[in-house]
Structure 1
Amino acid sequence: MLFSTRYSTFLLLLILAVATAAYRINMQSSSPTIIQSPNDQREYRSLELDNGLKVILVSDKEADKAAASLAVNIGSGDDPKGREGLAHFLEHMLFLGTEPFPDSGEYQDYISKHGGTHNAFTAHDVTNYFFEIDNNDLAGALDRFAPFFISPTFDADYVEREKNAVNAEYTSKSKDDGRRIFSAEKQAMNPAHPYAQFATGSLATLEDRPGSLIRDELIAFYQQHYSANEMTFALIGNYDLNTLEQWTQEKFSAIPKRDIIAKAKRPSLYLQDQLPLDLQIEPIKELRQLKLSFPMPESLSQYQYKPLQAISHLLGHEGEGSLLALFKKRGWAEGLSAGRGVSTPWESTLSINVQLTLVGLFRIDEITAAVFAYIELLQQGLQDKAFIERIYGEQHQLAELAFTNQEKSKAGHYAVRLTNNLRHREASQVIYGDYQWQTPTADILKPFLDQLSSNNLIRTLIAPEVETNTVDTWYDTKMMLRPAVIKLIAANKDPILKPQYREQLFLPEANPFIPQSFALTDAAAQAIPTTLIDEAGLRLWYYPEQEFRLPKAKVFINLHNKDVADNAKDRIIAQLFSHSVNELISSYTYPAYVAGLNYQLHASGRGLELSMSGYHDKLSILLEKIVDTMASLTAENVSEEEFKRYQAQLKRRLENQLKAKPYERTISELRRWLRNPSFSQEELIAALDTVTLKDVLAFNERLKQSLYIDSYVHGTLEPEAAKAISDVLKQAYQPSGERIAPAQISKVPNSTEANSTESNGTTNQYLQSLEQQHPDSAMSLYIQGQQFDQLTSDKARAHYALLAQIISSPYYQWLRTEKKMGYIVSASPFPQNAVPGLIFIVQSPTASSAEILTESEHFFADFKQQLAQLTAKEFEDHKQGLISRLVSKKKNMSEKVGHFWHNIEVNRLSFDTNEAIAKEVENIQQADIQALFESSIIEKKDPRLIFSHSSQTPDQGWTDLSTIKKADLEKL
């Protein structure tokens, strides 16, 4: 597949846009023509301010959210030597006060209060700031955003405090294998290249030094690099283009244009005379991966030809004849991806990642040889005019379909995409350029193909079993770097690759899943889904899509089985069964996935879930293949060797979940404890060890004996087509079981009658400590609401959600910025099914969970007065901000489907969960929230759970949760 996610070229095309000249739409005669989809009714305008700021404006009359993004052509690659992380630190500081708005929490408070979100990121050569907010409040957000780039205060107190936040971000990811591996990979790079240096920042790199105060260096760095002519800006809202342009001129023209010296070409990313290199890295999690990386020419200027994407499409293919198909047949690999890695204006890299089995770990030379055998085929193919035209013709055809049927994405994400694209190309290409697939000549591809050489290779082996001899500086990653091992393979081409393996490799054939029919249903529009079938063992929901008139469908099928819901072993069997089916049909289904037709089959808490999405033309063909494979799984399909491999893969995944970040562990363990039935990783691993292949093969028959099928078809399909989908399942399984309700929620004991074998204080506060090898502490404090019946649940959830809306920003500001507790701090609503609740999450490199709780309690005591002093307007702003989040307009079919399917899953057949809660929010008075805060948080009348990872946990007043007999608790 294409690196680095399961989303291939075509799925990206579904989000991005491409066009032919026929689709060119000129929205403003005085600005460049911006090419947009015929399905995109937004208006665009590009301009450049007098200060050199390049701007894209988007008027969307249907939007209820506005957004802005500003990208600066500066990043961690511009950090001064010895001040690594300075660009990232500067990104943090711009949020903490400007001359017009010196309060460090003003920007975040405003965005949060008005139903918005905000963030920023620092990459190697760009820093991007962005937000999304209710349309009516866009002007106020811009008033607070623009001064970031005109008059930040760099308050000395916050400079000192925010250094700790940057350091906390660094330490929070110190056990993150992605960060650790990348840090080790930098040791193979040219040490003179900025990419080789540490980028996050720490107390060591950001400390004050004699004659070098970090605040002075921040200001100097800002004044040196933050120049309007090195920035791009995108603004999206439901205002007309003239209004958006007026605001841009008024608020951003004051960004200074500085005398910036053009960046000099940087040294080579790798020293060619030191290649090839062999790098070995020891991970924390049980990962086994072989990565083959090739330095490449820059590719940003070749966007119309997509050379690296075309090569990656072929290398990462998973169909018949592919590298992955061969590796799976030999039992060497579980997955493979290929794609661009590093990308700068001067160079790039292409990487092939092979997810190894334990057997494959000892076959890396043969795997490497097979890769070069396939590269030889690829090089021959991409120098042949007919093959180039076929491959590019397919990609162009798929891109045209994606462009024509383009859907909207979140406004904030779209703004970021526009600013980043505007950095590299002319305004007319900010949409079109991403997925223009112009057929190149062989000469255009040759410079990239020539780099796929064993003499131009960094081969990285990542596994717990590797030999190491050193550690990297910043993450203590165990590693070993050595030269020239690959030359042993290169000397005689691929002598260790057996001829029959070479015969199994061939380039992809024509894709049979490219859709041909794009018919749209004429069924009458509906407000909500309706049932087409509701009988013993089977229910089919249907919704004909008339708002988003695209030739697409989404299908959800839940196969309910009581054994899977109630039994850890059966849940494991269901996971192994679904995995076996997925492996059997992976080569068949990959072309469908490339053509925009996707499926997922996995075990769920109630049995199995099958989902499908994409163009509906060949959906039924794919469904029949999946169901036929499920219904006919036998020992002829799955060998004992394959089963053992799948079993080991699942065990590794379960064990790796125990090594998640501390705050992630506390949340996942909290969710698990609350849900009934549920099973810990330890229980699932123990059950896994008892499962046999015979158990998995017998699952299909057991599934049939007690099966209920709950399904939903949403799209531009006719009702008869929806029924035909249901019939495929019905004929294969003949369902006759009963629907299984969602997992119930444990009611946290809240009285002296709590069923406990011992008591250690009050009986509505419970503590669970988690053990984990990580330097940070973490705490998740959960407060469970006490109104549970359906008549009061909406009202209760509205109250808790509004309290979270009001408290979230001040809690973050106090613990993260003022008290320097850590980088990860949040307060949010935490409803479980219909049970209301709140959760407070902190991960800290310096404070224990006991200290985090103490500081949280101090905050709660102080916040009581803040809440009382909230003005009527501020309270109303919070209410409207929450309502806008709850009932925001669905931007695409996926969002609408998700809303309806959630209601079906929880059996709320009025389909109005969010709307009902929003209606309750309208009726809440400020005194109601004060009373809830007083009762729930100050007086602690609501029961509490703490899941904690720390050397020092709260003790006094807290009962050990392990003493509670969960099975005897009331279920909600």
Structure 2
Amino acid sequence: MEFFMTLKRMSLIAGMLATVLVSGCTVTAERNAMDNSQVVVKSPADDRDYRFVELDNGLKALLISDPDTDKAAAAVDVKVGSFQDPDNRLGLAHFLEHMLFLGNEKYPEVDGYFEYIRAHGGSANAYTANTRTNYYFDINSDKLKPALDQLAQFFVSPTLDPAYVDRERNAVDSEYKLHAKEDGWRLLTAQNVTSNPAHPRSRFNIGSLETLSNDDGQSLWNDLKSFYDQYYVAENIGVVIYGKESPDVLESWLKESFAGVPEGKSPDTHIGLPPYTPEQLGVRINLVPLKDTRVLSLSFPVPSQYENYRKKPLGYLARVIGYEGEGSLHSYLKERGLIESLASYSSDVPGEFSEFSVRMELTPKGLEQVDEITAEVFDYLDLIRKQGLEPWIYEESRLVADLGFRYQEDANPQQTASGLATRIHDIPAADILRANYLFEDFDPDLISELLNQMTPSNMRQVVIARELDTDQVEPYFKTRYSIKPLPDTLVKRLSSPRVHAEMTIPKRNDFIARDLEQRKSSPDDVPQVLLEEPGFKVWSMTDSSFEVPRANVRIKVSTEKASRTEDDVIQLQLYRTLLSRSLNEYGYPAKEAGLNYGLNSGREGLTITLSGYQDKQGLLLEDILKAIKQFNPDKAEFDQEKALLIRRVKNKQFQPPYRLGMDRLSQDLYPNYRNDQVLLAAAEKVKLSDVKQYAKDFYRSIFIEMLVHGNHSAEESMKLAELVDKALLTEENRGSQFKQPFNLLKEKNRTIKADFNHNDSLYISYFQRPDTDDRDRAVYSLLGRLMATPFFNQLRTEQQLGYIVFAGARPIERHPGLIFVVQSPVLGPEGIEKKVAEFLQGQKERMKSLTDEELAQYRQGLLGDLLKKDANLDERSSRFWQSLDGKETGFQYRKQIADEVETVSVEEIQQALSDVLEDKGRLTVESVGKTQAVSKN
């Protein structure tokens, strides 16, 4: 399970989403006369059927019928979260989320739900947020009904077994301790402490052994049961079911499984209190992070705007303030060397309050001028009041959103189900699919009203940096903070806005797609070679099967110069960031219009990506290639990007141990994967002249692989290829493809002793197999699936070693492998190693009794994943590119492995485990935790 407090950010694109002008809706014939408010409006590109129903017990559900899906999914959203925790039971909502996974009257086996879903190609999880708890899974489509029934029993007859209360409160406590060095949690919790003490936002919300105390062995269970009985009633629950069956069948399954959810009126969860007292507004809040981080955030609480989702007034402001093109607030501050990034967004607690924020990552210079930056944000707000309330900006946003809705592609069924379930409580059925796209009514009076609330007296100026003065300590994560009134001099300056000639409102966007014609698909179902010459190979496939006017272009420039030395690695990263920076003002409107681009550096080279509407991709690519030719950053830009890179390398040490351990694993397996100390030394000495020279040397011997996939004809693909050829290739620089070296363990074992400076200990054991044939890959993929759930159950649920516990197949560079990971606050690496060894020996006994029927379940689960259909154009492009990028052999690699999986025998599984138990070809990463209580026994 996972727990997080989500800020529902209206990002740039979300802020621009609008209504579709003409849209279809799905209802079965016998339901055509139903209330229009129950008719689900969908995109014209969406061929799925939808039905919104309400059961007799008051439970609401959205049914999604997709006959072509090979993955099914479901989600249950309960309108209760950490805001409803009793004052003496902080973390109770989260604790209940954990307990519901531990069996029920109909399915009493602990972790049986996980076992079933994983065996049949699926995954499951849950999260607890401020005002909701969301449970979700996906699974192979032919197993939806039994999986759905198991999920439903969480809400019909949970055991809430008292025997697991103490075990699971330890799991929650481990989760809390896991976040001890994560600034996201530390800073959020400290900032919440500066909220209205009468408001639940101000409280700790994860849970710990202290807040979930159970000294008498009974009171925690009693409180848990009371909480469940109060909030887990049908009217407070929303369900989404996504399957290949008809709406009628899905509805019958819904009624069969969920009719038993207890009836009861939805409890009143309205808080009705302001999130901040008057003394907590018009203030500066200092927060001290662990990482070397510098952030300025200006936030303004306003009345909840959730009911205005059709107008999106805060979304309009987020777009204008967050704009990064020429004349923007972002450009003005960045060109003066004050910020590294700027984002504007809003969060909302429906029916309670909204909060609008402008968040800026600062340079060292910017940290010294926090008040001046704040004043310039207020200057820009005044510019919007005077010039920025323009109908054409709103209409342009509507157009982009209309395109987005008209050509909306299918998403992952699990993400679809979980996301839509969160809307059932607050969005009418008619708008449940299009809520994020509605931008119906330009209301300048409403926008002005919100702007008028963005005043010094209604602002919280939050500054995050290591060097700040503080006078208080947050009790759970020990974060240092302070909160003090804004100085009078700053308030006076903010109340007297100034005009800056360099600041303007956004200009009209020339990148909005006009050519929406669908090209005729190629006869082939995989890309074909369009062009092959020395140093350059182009693959192309015209694909309009998803009926969207979009395309994906990937261009990888590979060269040994990418990672031959640590200096190369650092200089390539700086080259990429400076190149991206030079494109930002020009390219930002393209991203705004749904034409995305990216530059990515790796140990094999530089990759240019284009995605989104194919119209104007050629124009954008031409300008990217021109920027490569004209690359000439100045000293100030270089210094800023160098400092940012150094800070990022240093800050890696604050990642959780298991992430650092996986990183160390990669460093050992890839010779060109340098460790952070080596990279840091290279970064600290690099000069601007080095990067400029590197930008020339990088192209001295290159190989370019290019894929054009989607709504481009072969002729259009060739024109794109000609642009690349002309810009990057000469007669002298056409080299061969570079692939980074990889270390084989063979029969050797190695142990990496690390010190990750964390309270938790870490143990990672990775077994690598020497062969790369599809048969071995099939066998070890099955073996990994067979052991994943028992490993989690035994070491986490039963033995309570820690929150981070997982195992499974780990193929690397086509070599099959298995990995076992435990991050523990209670046991050291030696003790964990013994537990893992005991588990593996136990699995040997288990495999002796493995039946063909049991193996067949896991086989079908794996086949479902391998043979899963591409859900959208991006997914298909990524699959093709994975083959071309050298990670796989041929476009049909998944089918080839699936063919082998079909015939894997029990004896092969048993032999594979025996080979692992020979303990040859193992790489181990160990780190001892800092907690004094850690045992090595």
Please show how residues 214-225 of structure 1 align to structure 2 within 5 Å.
214-225=220-231
Please show how residues 752-771 of structure 1 align to structure 2 within 5 Å.
764-771=748-755
The whole-number CA distance in structure 2 between the counterparts of 1:406 and 1:768 is 47
**3-state DSSP class of the match of 2:458?**
coil
Describe the shift of the 1:749–1:566 C-alpha distance in structure 2 as closer, same or farther (beyond 3 A). Answer: same
- Give 1:868 deviation, angstroms: 2.3
From 830, 836, 842, the equivalent of 1:856 is: 836
The whole-number CA distance in structure 2 between the counterparts of 1:700 and 1:5 is 40
The whole-number CA distance in structure 2 between the counterparts of 1:639 and 1:695 is 13
**3-state DSSP class of the match of 1:128?**
strand
CA contact (8 A) 1:4 1:338 kept: no
Q: Deviations over 1:907-956 (max 9, x none)?
A: 7553122221111111210111111112213x324434334354699xxx
- Give 1:342 deviation, angstroms: 4.6
CA contact (8 A) 1:59 1:241 kept: yes
Please show how residues 406-805 of structure 1 align to structure 2 within 5 Å.
406-485=408-487, 487-493=488-494, 502-634=500-632, 638-735=633-730, 736-748=733-745, 750=747, 764-788=748-772, 793-805=773-785
Between 1:115-124 and 1:667-676, the stretch displaced more is 667-676
The whole-number CA distance in structure 1 between the counterparts of 2:410 and 2:7 is 23
Q: Deviations over 1:885-913 (max 9, x none)?
A: 12211100111001100000117553122
- Give 1:799 deviation, angstroms: 1.2
CA contact (8 A) 1:284 1:464 kept: yes
Q: Deviations over 1:838-877 (max 9, x none)?
A: 1111111221122111111111122222222333222100
CA contact (8 A) 1:11 1:594 kept: no
Q: What is the number of equivalent residue pairs in this alignment?
A: 921
Describe the shift of the 1:379–1:868 C-alpha distance in structure 2 as closer, same or farther (beyond 3 A). Answer: farther
From 853, 864, 883, the equivalent of 1:873 is: 853
Q: Deviations over 1:476-498 (max 9, x none)?
A: 1111221233x432224466x87
Counterpart in the other structure of 2:289 = 283
**3-state DSSP class of the match of 1:658?**
helix
Describe the shift of the 1:820–1:210 C-alpha distance in structure 2 as closer, same or farther (beyond 3 A). Answer: closer
**3-state DSSP class of the match of 2:292?**
coil
1:373 aligns with 2:368: no
Describe the shift of the 1:523–1:224 C-alpha distance in structure 2 as closer, same or farther (beyond 3 A). Answer: closer
From 65, 71, 77, the equivalent of 1:65 is: 71
Q: Deviations over 1:453-477 (max 9, x none)?
A: 1110111110111112221011111
* Superposed CA RMSD: 2.1
Between 1:184-193 and 1:439-448, the stretch displaced more is 439-448
Please show how residues 233-248 of structure 1 align to structure 2 within 5 Å.
233-248=239-254
**3-state DSSP class of the match of 1:401?**
helix
**3-state DSSP class of the match of 1:422?**
coil
**3-state DSSP class of the match of 1:421?**
coil
Q: Deviations over 1:730-780 (max 9, x none)?
A: 112225333334323211252xxxxxxxxxxxxx43211222222111221
**3-state DSSP class of the match of 2:868?**
coil
CA contact (8 A) 1:767 1:948 kept: no
Report the AA paired with residue 768 of structure 2.
Q
Counterpart in the other structure of 1:958 = none
From 386, 391, 395, the equivalent of 2:393 is: 391
**3-state DSSP class of the match of 1:491?**
helix
Describe the shift of the 1:706–1:214 C-alpha distance in structure 2 as closer, same or farther (beyond 3 A). Answer: same
The whole-number CA distance in structure 2 between the counterparts of 1:686 and 1:822 is 35
Report the AA paired with residue 739 of structure 1.
S
Counterpart in the other structure of 2:919 = 940
The whole-number CA distance in structure 1 between the counterparts of 2:559 and 2:846 is 50
Unaligned runs of 5+ in 1: 751-763, 954-972
Describe the shift of the 1:19–1:498 C-alpha distance in structure 2 as closer, same or farther (beyond 3 A). Answer: closer
Counterpart in the other structure of 1:156 = 162
Between 1:721-730 and 1:647-656, the stretch displaced more is 721-730
The whole-number CA distance in structure 1 between the counterparts of 2:442 and 2:706 is 45
- Give 1:17 deviation, angstroms: 8.3
- Give 1:167 deviation, angstroms: 0.6
Unaligned runs of 5+ in 2: 1-5, 933-937
Counterpart in the other structure of 1:910 = 890
Counterpart in the other structure of 2:32 = 29
The whole-number CA distance in structure 2 between the counterparts of 1:498 and 1:415 is 48
The whole-number CA distance in structure 2 between the counterparts of 1:216 and 1:912 is 55
The whole-number CA distance in structure 1 between the counterparts of 2:7 and 2:136 is 24
Between 1:26-35 and 1:337-346, the stretch displaced more is 26-35
The whole-number CA distance in structure 2 between the counterparts of 1:359 and 1:930 is 62
Report the AA paired with residue 774 of structure 1.
H
**3-state DSSP class of the match of 2:766?**
strand
Report the AA paired with residue 84 of structure 2.
D
CA contact (8 A) 1:935 1:942 kept: no
Describe the shift of the 1:455–1:923 C-alpha distance in structure 2 as closer, same or farther (beyond 3 A). Answer: same
Describe the shift of the 1:153–1:815 C-alpha distance in structure 2 as closer, same or farther (beyond 3 A). Answer: same
CA contact (8 A) 2:281 2:459 kept: yes
- Give 1:805 deviation, angstroms: 0.6
Describe the shift of the 1:533–1:78 C-alpha distance in structure 2 as closer, same or farther (beyond 3 A). Answer: same
The whole-number CA distance in structure 2 between the counterparts of 1:25 and 1:237 is 15
Please show how residues 63-142 of structure 1 align to structure 2 within 5 Å.
63-142=69-148
- Give 1:447 deviation, angstroms: 3.3
CA contact (8 A) 1:848 1:951 kept: no
The whole-number CA distance in structure 2 between the counterparts of 1:210 and 1:670 is 45
The whole-number CA distance in structure 1 between the counterparts of 2:238 and 2:449 is 31
The whole-number CA distance in structure 1 between the counterparts of 2:707 and 2:178 is 41
Report the AA paired with residue 780 of structure 1.
I
- Give 1:409 deviation, angstroms: 0.4
Counterpart in the other structure of 1:928 = 908
Counterpart in the other structure of 2:369 = 363
Describe the shift of the 1:823–1:797 C-alpha distance in structure 2 as closer, same or farther (beyond 3 A). Answer: same
Counterpart in the other structure of 1:819 = 799
CA contact (8 A) 1:18 1:402 kept: no
Counterpart in the other structure of 1:841 = 821
Q: Deviations over 1:303-322 (max 9, x none)?
A: 10011111111111111121
TM-score by length of 1: 0.92
CA contact (8 A) 2:303 2:353 kept: yes
Describe the shift of the 1:907–1:869 C-alpha distance in structure 2 as closer, same or farther (beyond 3 A). Answer: closer
- Give 1:690 deviation, angstroms: 2.7
Report the AA paired with residue 144 of structure 2.
L
Report the AA paired with residue 189 of structure 1.
S
1:337 aligns with 2:343: yes
Describe the shift of the 1:227–1:350 C-alpha distance in structure 2 as closer, same or farther (beyond 3 A). Answer: same
Describe the shift of the 1:532–1:259 C-alpha distance in structure 2 as closer, same or farther (beyond 3 A). Answer: closer
The whole-number CA distance in structure 2 between the counterparts of 1:504 and 1:181 is 34
- Give 1:230 deviation, angstroms: 0.7
**3-state DSSP class of the match of 2:563?**
helix
TM-score by length of 2: 0.95
CA contact (8 A) 2:771 2:815 kept: yes
